[in-house]
Amino acid sequence: MDPIVQQAMAKWPNVPHCYGWLALDARGTWRMRDEAAQARHLPGDPIRNAALRGFIDRNYTHDGAGRWYFQNGPQRVYVNLDLTPYIAHTDPALGFVLHHGEALPLVDSAWLSEDGLLILQAGECVAALDDRDLAQCLAALRRDGAPVDDEDLLAWLDGRDNRPLTLEYGGQRLPLQHIARAELARHFGFVAEPGPDAE
């Protein structure tokens, strides 16, 4: 967390929290959601200013209730999450990289939802893979060391074939697990749309 943010928190400890104005979309883009976007359930405008995005990234964390927020000076700006607290991308040199540019540490576990959403976990870090990078990872799926074709993958996704699949990427071989998209927040213990009712 930036020192200037810590100083502001100490100086003004009782600033009201903010809800609904900031979102992290499914491709790792920060979005500002004004009152009109909130009222119409729209994603909001992408934040394009690199300095502001960097400031949000450095001061992004969560509370004990699993609500993720950006500490903006003395104010917590809670974040609506389209998928998970982090979004990952593939990088030829670094493997998986989080939406703020940091390499994802060694991945512990991998899940695939019924609609093909790949979820990666490294310690407490949970990240959905940007859908634009999914084809590359699907090509890295294996069953008994052999590539998995589309028909076999569809059968695994809908439960007709429960033989184990592995994701072999970046020098790792990870057993692939099933997860329902609707269960992401509950399973990983985060709040997708924080509100003041949890205070």
Per-residue pLDDT, averaged over 91-104, amounts to 92
Count of domains observed in the chain: 2
- Identify the pLDDT of residue 170: 81
Of all helices (H) and strands (E), which one includes residue 58? Answer: helix 50-58
Domain around 36: 3-83+188-198
CB 7 within 8 A of CB 13: no
Same domain, 175 and 90: yes
Same domain, 152 and 123: yes
Q: How far is CA 81 from CA 30, 52, 128, 196, in A?
A: 10, 18, 11, 16
Same domain, 75 and 115: no
Same domain, 90 and 175: yes
CA–CA distance, 49 with 59 (Å, rounded to integer): 16
Same domain, 17 and 91: no
- Identify the pLDDT of residue 169: 87
CA–CA distance, 48 with 73 (Å, rounded to integer): 20
- Local confidence band at 5 (pLDDT 50, 70, 90 cut-offs): low
Q: Please tell me whether residue 181 adopts helix, strand or coil conformation.
A: helix
> Taking the CB of residue 11, how many other CB atoms lie within 10 A of it?
10
